Structure 1
Amino acid sequence: MSPHPASPSFHVTRTLAEDATEAALRADVLHGLTGTPKTLPPKWFYDARGSELFERITTLPEYYPTRAEREILLARAPEIAAATGARTLVELGSGSSDKTRHLLDALPQLSAYVPVDVSESALRGAARTLLADYPALDLHALVADFTRELTLPATPGPRLVVFLGGTIGNLLPDERSAFLAAVRAMLSPGDFLLLGTDLVKDEAELVAAYDDASGVTAAFNKNVLSVMNRELHADFDPGAFEHVALWDARAEWIEMRLRSVRDQVVKIPAVDLVVDLAAGEEIRTEVSAKFRRTGVERELRSAGLELTHWWTDAAGRFGLSVSTVSG
């Protein structure tokens, strides 16, 4: 275990209103299911059941990203520590903070850890475990949406902002541009961004990772219907949809969709919406962009960030990069 400075503390700051999640779900459903094509953002997969299913997905033989990223973290954490000299670690979408431990162990000079997540219960659960294992680490948890403007607590620099899991691929190009610009705005000279990006590879390997033989990803995809049924009193029949995963070679991303197997009418009373779905009509539930180093470097540069380090796993499936403020 890494030695950390004394004076441990734990703070939780909420920047989301108590009803923000419900309001965002209503807005996303109204916007997405009245558009053409119909869409839903992937963040609504992750209720307790969805989070459990995703944890199962990460252990499936077809799903390589989690293993590939962990391989890089284990091998390169000391280099990341040496390159950044970080005294504060900020993790966007921290969840259980499981992978972060590789960095905590490699950063003996670390003073503070700032996990950011929309779920206060997830933050408090992770904090209990982390404080037991890192009793001298100051934790400043933020209950916040990392896709919106963030105000970070006053903690020592340099800061290392971490965005792992290839989650940036779930953002559309314009959203990625806005997100990276917002990250840049958080950083002071001498701060860094550690970014995980899934890489372009063979189509069959990509599709298999999102359409596993055991059907766990299909259940995960359909879980968004259960979320709407519970939270918005909708009457979706998950059995009336099939899971679809396909590779868009032009956009270089995977799309997950739910395809209606018959003509159906779905009522969503909480948002006063009736949705007509024809047999074969699809709802896009996730985009997962895949990257090349040149593209990552270009997008970072456009946001005012300069790529300084780049690593992949041994098979070249996943990329981890460090960047800092340009100029």
Structure 2
Amino acid sequence: MIENFKNEVNKGLESNPKTLPSKYFYDKKGDALFVEIMNLPEYYLTRCELDIFQNKTQELVDAFGVKPNTYFELIELGAGDGTKTKELLKLLDSENYSFDYFPIDISSNALGLLEQDLNKELPNVSVQTKQGDYFEILATLKDSKKPKIVLFLGSNIGNMTDDLAAKFIYNLGANLQAGDKLLLGVDLIKANEIVRPAYNDSKGITAKFNLNLLDRINNELDGDFNLNHFKHQPEYDKNEGIAKSFIESTIDQTVEIKAIGKTYKLAEGEKIHTEISRKYNDKLVEKIIANTDFNLEAKIQDNKGYFADYILTRH
């Protein structure tokens, strides 16, 4: 893990323009900051998808096309704390659907907490946690030949370029059978004044979250980034439909990372690109799935029309 971290940080800081992988936002401090972000009034994404799962639960189940007496596997990629999915599980449980729930996550701690929570709240639901890589675990589940519904929530697909998103969905399809479903949660393209604050909140929590990546390099790779000489710089243009996050150097400076054994020069105003968050509409979703094994079956939106859960069927 530490070798991968070193290699990816070095590769990113030697690139032009400079980049750092957003996956390294998430250490213990980063996890806590992101929980804070999700509860901020400006960060609408989590609330909007939760609105769908709370208030349009039956519509989701109808779109899946499953019947109470027909067994299926409900698989969630990156399950986290399962807050949204719990609303779906409650309905499936109350109507006596026959299924197993397979939450997949990289964090064994998150899975343990989720399993404990569900065993307490929904003791009749069969929970089979799976830790590790999405595709490795899907490959093991593929052999069952049972009908599958895969959940990929939170607009996590938006952290990928369109080409990578298309490959990701294609690879998902390769692990599924005809008739299996994919629920793809995406943030919709909307006005600048709604999107921008979600990535640049008034309390500065998102800035701390982004700059924590430099702190992590300092702590784990013996770097000497001075966080006072950097600032969080988000950008969003509705016409492009992509929110971008940058860490910008506020002075000319040289940074050393001892674990890598290198120094890196940054000019005043030079930006390190850390993350994208693609926003979608029907046309973009259709484009991304055009060369995959999926057809678009349904689109379910929150009450504000900010977010959508697309239901795709493997053909």
Report if TM-score (shorter chain) is over 0.5: yes
Match of 2:110 in 1: 122
Alpha-carbon distance in structure 2 between the residues aligned to 1:132 and 1:68? 26
- Selected match of 2:214 from 202, 214, 225: 225
Contact in 2 for aligned 1:111/1:156 (Cα 8 Å): no
Deviations 1:115-137 (A, max 9, x none): 11111121112211122222233
- Selected match of 1:260 from 245, 249, 259: 249
TM-score normalized with structure 2 length:
0.91
Runs (4+) of structure 1 moved beyond 4 Å? 147-150
> C-alpha displacement at 1:211, in angstroms?
0.5
Contact in 2 for aligned 1:248/1:255 (Cα 8 Å): no
Match of 2:23 in 1: 43
1:211 aligns with 2:200: yes
Match of 2:75 in 1: 90
1:314 aligns with 2:303: yes
1:237 aligns with 2:226: yes
Which amino acid counterpart does residue 132 of structure 1 have in structure 2? K
- Selected match of 2:46 from 42, 52, 66: 66
Which amino acid counterpart does residue 214 of structure 1 have in structure 2? K
Contact in 2 for aligned 1:68/1:318 (Cα 8 Å): yes
Larger mean Cα displacement after TM superposition, 152-161 or 273-282: 152-161
Larger mean Cα displacement after TM superposition, 199-208 or 75-84: 75-84
Change over 3 Å in CA distance of 1:297–1:110 after alignment to 2 = farther
Give the unaligned 5+ runs of structure 1: 1-20
The number of aligned residues is: 306
Query: Counterparts in 2 of 1:53-202, with a 5 A limit?
Result: 53-84=33-64, 85=66, 87-108=72-93, 109-146=97-134, 150-153=138-141, 157-202=146-191
Change over 3 Å in CA distance of 1:87–1:150 after alignment to 2 = closer
> C-alpha displacement at 1:47, in angstroms?
1.2
Alpha-carbon distance in structure 2 between the residues aligned to 1:149 and 1:22? 23
Alpha-carbon distance in structure 1 between the residues aligned to 2:226 and 2:98? 49
Alpha-carbon distance in structure 2 between the residues aligned to 1:92 and 1:199? 20
Which amino acid counterpart does residue 229 of structure 1 have in structure 2? N
Match of 1:25 in 2: 5
Aligned partner of residue 279 in structure 1, secondary structure = coil
TM-score normalized with structure 1 length:
0.88
Which amino acid counterpart does residue 287 of structure 1 have in structure 2? I
* RMSD of aligned alpha carbons: 1.9
